[in-house]
Amino acid sequence: MMSGAVQQKQDTVALPVFAAVTLALITILSVWKLKQFKYKLVNEAGVAMFYGLLLGLTVRLIWTDKGEQCPGNTTAANEQANTSNITMVNITPHGHVGNEKGQFSSHPEETFDLQVLFNLFLPPIIFHGAYTLNQKRFLANLGSVLTYAFAGTIISCMCIGACMYGFTKLMVLLSEQKEEFFLTHCLLFGAIMSATDPVSVLGLLSDLRVDLDLHMLLFGESVLNDAVAIVLTHAITTYTQMNAGLIFNPTAFLHAFVFFLIVLIGSFLLGLIFTVITALLTKFTRLHENPLLETSVFFLLSWSSYLSAEACGLSGIVAVMFCGLSQARYTVLNLSSEGRARIKQLFEVFNFLGEISIFGYMGYILLKFTCHKFEPYFISGALLSVFISRAFNIYPLSFLLNLGRTNKIPCKFQHFMMFAGLRGAVAFRLAVKVTAKEVSHTIFTTTLLMIVFTIWVLGTAADPMLRRLDIRVGVDPDENQEDRIFEIATERLDTTQGLWHSLDYKYLKPMLTHCGPPLTESLPQCCGVFARVFSSPRVQEDDEEEELCEIEAGKNTLDLGETESQQGSSESDSASEHQEDLLDGDLGLGTAPAQPREASGSSTQL
Write out the binding residues for a copy of itself, residues 84-113 only, by CB under 8 A. Answer: 84-90, 98, 102-106, 110-113
Q: How far is the CB of 330 from a copy of itself (least distance, A)?
A: 19
**533 closest CA partner among 521, 546, 519:** 519
How many Å apart are CA 326 and CA 276, to the nearest integer? 9
Q: How far is the CB of 240 from a copy of itself (least distance, A)?
A: 5
**Listed ranges 12-20, 58-66, 373-381, 509-517: which one lies at the site for a copy of itself (CB under 8 A):** 12-20
What CA–CA distances, in Å, run from 55 to 24, 76, 81, 113, 451? 12, 26, 28, 15, 18
Q: How far is the CB of 391 from a copy of itself (least distance, A)?
A: 27
Q: How far is the CB of 113 from a copy of itself (least distance, A)?
A: 7
Query: C-alpha angle with apex 408: 404 to 409, nearest 5 degrees?
Result: 115
How many Å apart are CA 212 and CA 479, to the nearest integer? 10
Q: Which of 38, 286, 538, 597 binds a copy of itself (CB under 8 A)?
A: 286
Closest CB to a copy of itself among 50 and 189?
189
Residues 230-269 as b/e (b if ≥16 CB within 10 A, e otherwise) read bbbbbbbbebbeeebeeeeeeebeebbeebbeebbebbbe
Task: Mark residues 492-531: x for contact with a copy of itself by CB under 8 A, - for none.
Answer: ----------------------------------------
Type of residue numbered 280: L
The answer to whether the CB of 421 falls within 8 A of the CB of 452 is: no
What CA–CA distances, in Å, run from 101 to 78, 98, 110, 479? 13, 5, 19, 64
Q: How far is the CB of 356 from a copy of itself (least distance, A)?
A: 9
Closest CB to a copy of itself among 14 and 457?
14
Task: Mark residues 310-329: x for contact with a copy of itself by CB under 8 A, - for none.
Answer: xx-x--x-------------
Task: Mark residues 227-266: x for contact with a copy of itself by CB under 8 A, - for none.
Answer: ------xx-xx--xx-x-x---------------------
How many Å apart are CA 567 and CA 338, to the nearest integer? 8
Q: How far is the CB of 462 from a copy of itself (least distance, A)?
A: 22
Pick out residues in 399-458 that bind a copy of itself (CB under 8 A): 432-439
Pick out residues in 22-81 that bind a copy of itself (CB under 8 A): 22, 24-25, 28-29, 32, 36, 76-77, 80
Residue count at the site for a copy of itself (CB under 8 A)? 105
Closest CB to a copy of itself among 6 and 403?
6
Q: How far is the CB of 510 from a copy of itself (least distance, A)?
A: 24
Rounded to 10 deg, the angle between the 316-329 and 114-131 helix axes is: 30
Pick out residues in 545-564 that bind a copy of itself (CB under 8 A): none
Q: Which of 254, 261, 292, 533 binds a copy of itself (CB under 8 A)?
A: 292
How many Å apart are CA 86 and CA 137, to the nearest integer? 45
The answer to whether the CB of 366 falls within 8 A of the CB of 546 is: no
DSSP class of 564 = T
CA atoms within 13 A on the CB side of 402: 12
Residues 107-126 as b/e (b if ≥16 CB within 10 A, e otherwise) read bebbbbbbeebbebbbbbbb
Pick out residues in 166-195 that bind a copy of itself (CB under 8 A): 180, 182, 184-185, 188
Q: Which of 61, 62, 116, 594 binds a copy of itself (CB under 8 A)?
A: 116
Indicate whether 353 belongs to the interface with a copy of itself (CB under 8 A): yes
DSSP class of 566 = P
Q: Please report which residue ranges of 89-211 form alpha helices under DSSP H.
A: 93-101, 114-131, 135-140, 142-147, 153-173, 183-194, 198-208
Q: Which of 553, 568, 570, 595 binds a copy of itself (CB under 8 A)?
A: 568
How many Å apart are CA 106 and CA 510, to the nearest integer? 55
Q: Which of 54, 162, 262, 293 binds a copy of itself (CB under 8 A)?
A: 293
Q: How far is the CB of 86 from a copy of itself (least distance, A)?
A: 5
